[in-house]
Amino acid sequence: MKKILLVFFILPLFLLGQTSISDAERLINNKNFSDAEKVLSLYINKNPNDLKATELLGDAYGQQKKWDKAIKQYKQLVEVKPNEANFHYKYGGALGMKALIVSKFSALGIIGDVKSAFLKAAELDPNHIDTRWALVELYMQLPGIIGGSKSKSFKYANELENLSKVDGYLAKGYIYEYDDEPELAEEFYKKAITEGGSITCFDKLTKLYEKEGKSEEAITNLEAAHVKHKRNAMHYQIGKVCADYNVQLEKGEFCLKVYIDNYSAKDGVPKAWAYYRLAQIYKHKKNKKEAVIWIDKAMADLPEIKVFKEEKVAIERL
């Protein structure tokens, strides 16, 4: 009878715990990070040794850029389970993000711990792709005097290539782009497109072309991405390049109007930005009347955007 009563009292508590965790995961998946933080904080007050809840709370803090609080949660995980690679990776990531927002002097005191955490994660899990990406970026971005090294960055890019050819090619493209070698970066981004062909692969090459002022190549690459993936978002990206570089204006106008007509929230970029790009295109065409119509639509949707106001002034001067 005592055992039955014990189960009777413990089972609801267990189910309550499971509900709190699942609720928090649902909130995080829906990007309701503040609410997830509240749910998890209450739960952890009563269950301080629940590692899953601790990790989720660290994730919720991180998504809100509360780096000190995220660091505290991940550090607890590393101390309790020092052989868990992903905990070291998340700890290093949170430390790294903090290093970006503090003074350079303070950042110097953090970088060693960032590097140690990532290296430990890589040591513990030879298949941890995210850790190797972090090390590629870290060694490229650090000055040589505090440990930066292109050769070490390449070491982890090669490890990535052994795990995933696409990630390896993208990593090498990143290294060459960062090192101002655009021809080699282009070569590896194209290899990534051939190997995997994801939106990310196409996007890396498009951004490289835009940075290099190669608008025609950027448009061609975006069109290839659209053929493969059939995403409405590509229409906006093509229109954006046409508007920014004053090229293929008819194509840009057509694509932006298709984007607006087929818009849904999953496309990501609000319609106001498509209105703004259309205003830019009509400004390039010296069609003040149409430009005013579209910039007014953009400002009506998002009145606080500074570049919209600046574009309105430029159009009025036509």
Q: Are 81 and 108 in contact (CB under 8 A)?
A: no
Q: Which of residues 24 and 5 earns the better pLDDT score?
A: 24
**pLDDT-based confidence at residue 273 (cuts at 50, 70, 90):** very high
pLDDT at 19: 66
pLDDT of residue 100: 85
Tell me if residue 284 falls in helix, strand or coil. Answer: helix
267: tokens are 């496309």
Dist. CA 86–CA 84, nearest whole Å: 6
Q: What is the DSSP letter of 262?
A: T
User: What is the mean pLDDT of the segment spanning 267-296?
Assistant: 96
Total count of residues recorded for the chain: 318
Rounded Cα gap, residues 248 and 217, in angstroms: 12
For the ranges 16-25, 93-102, 307-316, the lowest mean pLDDT is seen at 16-25
| Cα→Cα distances 138→28, 58, 99, 116, 302, Å | 27, 22, 12, 12, 37
